[in-house]
Every structure is written in structure tokens, then in C-alpha cells.
Amino acid sequence: MQNIIFFKPEDGDLISNPSAVFFEKIFLYESEDFWNIGAGMGYIDFINDKIHNRIEIVFEKSNGFYLRYKALNLDFHSIKAGNFEHKVKVYIGGNSITFPNIFFIDRITTLEAVKKFIIDGQMYRGITWLDDNKFEWDYESY
């Protein structure tokens, strides 16, 4: 049996086994305040007797969602077409962090990735994922 845990960035609540409808509402309709007040980052854990995988989620109003997929020895960033020249500043845990804007994807694609993840804990193939081990950059000075 699997267990899904969602960490709400707005207030730090942990929600066990939220439905796909719950995720549809928050990814398609929640405002910037939901995502940016409080921790500034949410996550979803997929846990069963074989794996414990996580998607970390950061929202930026003009650019959409940044997803980071983490599993045992795996660390991948969502990425879209473009270059690394344009930057986006977000606040996570009160700290300013700068990301390339190509790490941010739209709401619909994010929702599709989350719906796939809560079924089997795996990465959504509709997103290009960048392996963290093959890309070096400094979050603070980028």
C-alpha cells in the first residue's frame, strides 16, 4: 500500500493521501499567497514498502512551478526549452534563491506530473528532467 503526504507551504500542515481532485484545485486555482506565504516550498512524498520518492514544488507567479524530483541517488529538475540567461528570484524559508526561469513549467503540465507521481512515485515523461549530477550551479549567486 502506498502513502502520499503533501506538505502545504502556506502553513506547514501535512495532508495524508490527498485526492487527485485536491491537487487539481491547488495546482490550477490557488493563488501566489498559498504557495509563497510560509515555507515558500511544498512537497509531495510517495511512500510504499519499496520506495520513498519526493517532488519539491516552488511557485513563481510569472513563471509557474519548479519541480525537483528526488529519489534514492536521483535528483532531477524540471526544465523547459530556453536558455539559462533569464533568472527568477524566489523565497524559500525566508531565504532568497535564484533559479533559471527554464526550470519553471506551466500549471497544467505540473498537475499532470503530480497526478502521475501520486499513482506510482515516478517522474512524468511529459516533462524534460535535468539530472542534478550533470549540471552545476550555485543557487545563491546564479
Residues with Cβ within 8 Å of 37's Cβ and at least 6 positions away in sequence, in order, are 9, 10
User: Which of 11-15, 16-20, 98-102, 131-135 has the least mean pLDDT?
Assistant: 131-135
- pLDDT tens for each residue of 56-83: 999 999 999 999 999 988 899 999 988 8
Give the C-alpha separation, 140 to 75, whole Å.
19
Q: What percent of the chain has pLDDT over 90?
A: 68
- Cell numbers placing 17: 493521501
- pLDDT tens for each residue of 91-101: 898 888 998 99
- pLDDT tens for each residue of 31-42: 888 998 888 999
Strand partners, 75: 70
- Cell numbers placing 101: 526561469
Are the C-beta atoms of 21 and 15 separated by less than 8 Å?
no
pLDDT greater than 50 at residue 142: no
Give the C-alpha separation, 116 to 55, whole Å.
11
Q: What is the pTM of this model?
A: 0.91
The DSSP 8-state label assigned to residue 6 in this structure reads E
Are the C-beta atoms of 37 and 23 separated by less than 8 Å?
no
